[in-house]
Amino acid sequence: MEVFHLVLRNLLARPVRSLLTLLGVLIATASMVLFLSFGEGLRRALFQELSRVGPAIQVVPEGAEGFAFSAYPEITPEALRALEEAGKALGVKALIPTLLLARGGFDPKTGFFFQGLPPGVSPSLLYPGLRVRESRLLPSAQGAVAGAKIAQRGGLTLGSPLRLSPKVALKVEGILEESGGLADNLLFAPLPALQAVLGTKNVGAVLVALRPGQKAEEVARALEGAVPGLKAQTTGEVMRFAERALRISDLVRFGISLVALVVGGLLVANTVMMSVYERTREFGVMRALGARRGFIFRLVVLEALFLALLGGVGGLLLGSLASAAINLYTLKEVGLALSAITPRLALFALGVALGLGILAGLFPAQQASRLPVVEALGRV
C-alpha cells in the first residue's frame, strides 16, 4: 500500500502522459471486450434457444449441419416417407417436417421469416410454452400466426394480408405472446402454402420429438442408418457444433483485437520506460538511502500494472456501455441481444490487462533495479 502511494504520486506528477497511456489501454481493452461480446451474445442466444426447442433431433440433408434452415429444401417426399417409417419403427413421439422461408430481403425491418408446419401441428410443439395473445395458435390452410415481435415490427394485426408470391397470399389469424425466444420473430404458416411458393414438394428439415426415456443419440444414429443422405443431429450435437464454430470466430476476433492490445501494451511499456529513464537519479537516491533493488522493481512494475489494470477496468466499462448500446439497437431491430458481457469475458479482459501490465512493466523494472547505484546517482 505504501509503495502504491509512491506509484500514484509519480503518475499524477505527469497527468497528461498518464492519461494518454490510460486511454490507449482503455480503448484497446474496450475494443477487445466488444469484439468478444458478440461471440458471447450469440452463444447465449443460441443456447437459450436450443434449450427451449421441443424436438430433440433435427434431420437435415448431409453437408448442411448446424443451422441450415434457410437453405433450399432438399429433403424429398421419398426421403421423408422413409424417415417416417424408420421413426415409426423406433417408436418416436412425432416427426414434424418443416421449412423456413425468408421474404422481403434481409433487412430485419422489412424481412419476414416463415416457418412451415404440417396442417394440424401447433407451433407450441416446436417451441413449448408458446401462448396465444390474440385469436388462435393453429393457422388454417390460408392463415398464418405471428410471433409477438415480428407482429409489432411489421405492424401486423388480425386480418393483415401477407403476400408470399403472386399466387400465394395468407392472412394473419393469430398473434402470439412474447416468449423471449426465436419464435417471437417467426410467422408460422401451413407447410403446403410455403411449398407452393417455392414450387417444391421438398422440406428443409424434419424435427423429431422423442418419447420419455428414448436416447437422442441412439435414435439419431438409427435414423441416419435408415435413410442415407440425411444427417440427424441431436440438440447436444448442434450445441457442440455451434460451440466449435463460435470458438473459431472467438479466436479470429481475439486475433483482431490483439493488434490493439499489443499497441496498448507498448504504450504502457513506453510510458514506464520513459519514467524510469527520467527517474534514474531518483532511484539512485532511494537506493543510497537504503532501498533494496526489489523495492525499485516493485515500484516500476506496480506503475505498469496500475496503468494496465485501470485501463482494463475502464475498457471493460466502456465495452459494456457499447455492448448495451448495440443491444438496444439489435433488440429493437431483430429482437435479439447480439452482444453479451459475461462474467468470464469480464474476467478474461481483466486477466489480459493484468498480463499486459506485467509484460510491459517487467523490462523497465529490470532496467531500473539492475543499474549500479553509483551510476544511477551520477545521472542527473
For the CB of residue 371, give the shortest distance to another protein in the complex, in Å. 11
Q: Please name the amino acid found at residue 250.
A: D
**Cα-based torsion angle of the residue sequence 19, 24, 29, 31 in order, rounded to the nearest 10 degrees:** 130
Residue placing its CB nearer to another protein in the complex, 217 or 375: 375
In terms of Cβ atoms closer than 10 Å to its own Cβ (0-12, 13-18, 19+), residue 189 is: buried
In this structure, what C-alpha cell is assigned to residue 343?
Answer: 462474467
State the helix-helix crossing angle for 293-334 and 235-278, rounded to 10 degrees: 140
**Amino acid occupying residue 358:** I
| Minimum separation from the CB atom of position 271 to another protein (A) | 15
Residue 6 in contact with another protein, rule: CB under 8 A? yes
Closest C-alpha to 202, from 100, 304, 125: 100
Question: Which residues is 143 bridged to in the sheet?
Answer: 171
- Cβ-based nearer residue to another protein, 43 or 279: 279
Touching another protein, residues 138-197 (CB under 8 A): none
Give, in degrees to the nearest 5, the angle at Cα 48 between 29 and 213: 140
CB-nearer residue toward another protein: 285 or 334: 285
Least distance to another protein, CB of residue 50, Å: 57
DSSP code for 138: S
Q: What is the CB-side half-sphere exposure of residue 143 using CA atoms within 13 A?
A: 17
Q: Check binding of 15 to another protein (CB under 8 A).
A: no
Task: Kindly state whether residue 377 participates in binding another protein, applying the rule CB under 8 A.
Answer: yes
Shortest distance in whole angstroms from residue 337 CB to another protein: 46
Name the minimum Å distance from CB 287 to another protein.
6
Q: Measure the CA–CA gap between 306 and 237, rounded to whole angstroms.
A: 44
14 vs 44, beta carbon nearer another protein = 14
Q: Does residue number 16 form part of the binding site for another protein (CB under 8 A)?
A: no
Q: Which of 20, 288 has the CB closer to another protein?
A: 288
Question: Which of 149, 279 has the CB closer to another protein?
Answer: 279
Smallest separation, CB 363 to another protein (Å): 20
- Determine contact, residues 91/259, Cβ cutoff 8 Å: no
Instruction: Tell me which of 23, 222, 242, 373 binds another protein, using CB under 8 A.
Output: 373
Among positive and negative, which fits the CA dihedral 306, 307, 308, 314?
positive
Please state the closest distance from residue 372 (CB atom) to another protein, in A: 7
Q: Which region among 6-14, 22-30, 58-66, 127-135 touches another protein (by CB under 8 A)? A: 6-14
User: Shortest Cβ distance from residue 292 to another protein (Å)?
Assistant: 4
Binding flags for another protein, 270-309, as an x/- string (CB under 8 A): -----------xx--xxxxxxxxxxx--------------
Q: Is 63 in the site for another protein (CB under 8 A)?
A: no
Q: Which is nearer to another protein, 240 or 370 (CB)?
A: 370
Size of the site for another protein (CB under 8 A): 24
Contact indicator for 253, 106 with CB cutoff of 8 Å: no
Residue of 270, 274, 265 lying closest to 356 (CA atoms): 265
DSSP state of 180: S
Q: Is the Cβ of residue 218 or residue 278 nearer to another protein in the bound state?
A: 278
Q: Shortest Cβ distance from residue 6 to another protein (Å)?
A: 8
Residues with Cβ within 8 Å of residue 4, at least 6 apart in sequence: 302, 306
d(Cα 263, Cα 269) in Å, to the nearest integer?
10
Binding residues (CB under 8 A) for another protein: these are 2, 6, 9-10, 12-13, 281-282, 285-295, 372-374, 377, 380
